[in-house]
Amino acid sequence: MAVSRPSNWLSSSLGRQLVTAESALLQGLLDEIFGLELLQLGSWGASRELLAASRIRRQTVIAPQPDATVDLVARLDALPIQTATVDAVLLPHTLEFEADPQVVVREADRVLTGEGQVIILGFRPASLWGLRAAGAREGFPPGLQRMLGAGRVCDWLRLLGYEIVLERKYLYCRPWDAGIPGSRRILRRGLMNPLPAGAWMIRARKHVYRMTPLKHRFFRERRRALGALPEPTARNRP
């Protein structure tokens, strides 16, 4: 069961600047992904700005709770989508609000076509944002159940046969900063900034491996035996 999204926090100054920075981060990636269907699992922000750069015309936002940006209300661990019909899936901090994030990853894999791509955003446990979340009774951002390391999510994807195309760290600001000048400080460390990154992004491509049919041993040995028989010559013909 999913926990409600921190809509009030995302409307704050820090929340708005984070979503704006992540929209800029996704701009180059989504511009390179083509297809017919794009899914965003989980709402994140007051608008659909995360998908603004996508060239895919049919974009659907699915979330467990109704929202102004949500097109379809459904459980993310049981999507009402046919298998292998989606070209790209975006999960913006979605796994951190789900009771069983690995099931959500498998469900995203089920609906993706062969060579489809998935983009996942998440907060880093080993950061100031992770410490803030660990010390907050209601989680931070509010409603967050857990933070997942990028390595753990990459392991899940590799087990499903994915190629990790890109892994990037970002969010180089403190979790209580409210007056960040633009998104540059969020996306880039800077020369005088010793803070570790507070978030990560993963882009992965799904591969479908076709099985090569193997012939039965009887047929292989028979073919080898027949190929070894001498061909008749004019001398030994009757």
Burial of 138 (0-12, 13-18, 19+ CB in 10 A): exposed
pTM summary value: 0.83
Q: How far is CA 141 from CA 44, 75, 152, 157, in A?
A: 12, 21, 21, 25
Domain presence at residue 138: yes
Domain presence at residue 124: yes
Number of domains in the chain: 1
CB distance 125 to 150 below 8 Å: no
What pLDDT, on the 0 to 100 scale, is given for residue 233?
54
Domain presence at residue 67: yes
**Tens of pLDDT, residues 124-142:** 999 999 999 888 888 889 8
Domain presence at residue 233: no
Region 215-226 average pLDDT: 54
Domain presence at residue 229: no
Tell me the CATH number at 59: 3.40.50.150
Which range of residues forms the domain containing residue 106?
A: 7-213
Domain presence at residue 237: no
Tokens of 24: 């800029």
What pLDDT, on the 0 to 100 scale, is given for residue 234?
56
Q: How far apart are CA 31 and CA 70, in angstroms?
A: 22
Give the number of residues written for the chain: 238
Among the listed residues 171, 175, 166, the one whose alpha carbon sits nearest the alpha carbon of residue 183: 171
Region 164-186 average pLDDT: 77
Q: Which residue has the higher pLDDT, 155 or 6?
A: 155
Mean pLDDT for all residues in the chain: 85
| Residue 140 CB partners (closer than 8 Å, separation 6+) | 129, 132, 133, 175
In this model, does residue 18 exceed pLDDT 80?
yes
N-term to C-term CA, the chain: 84
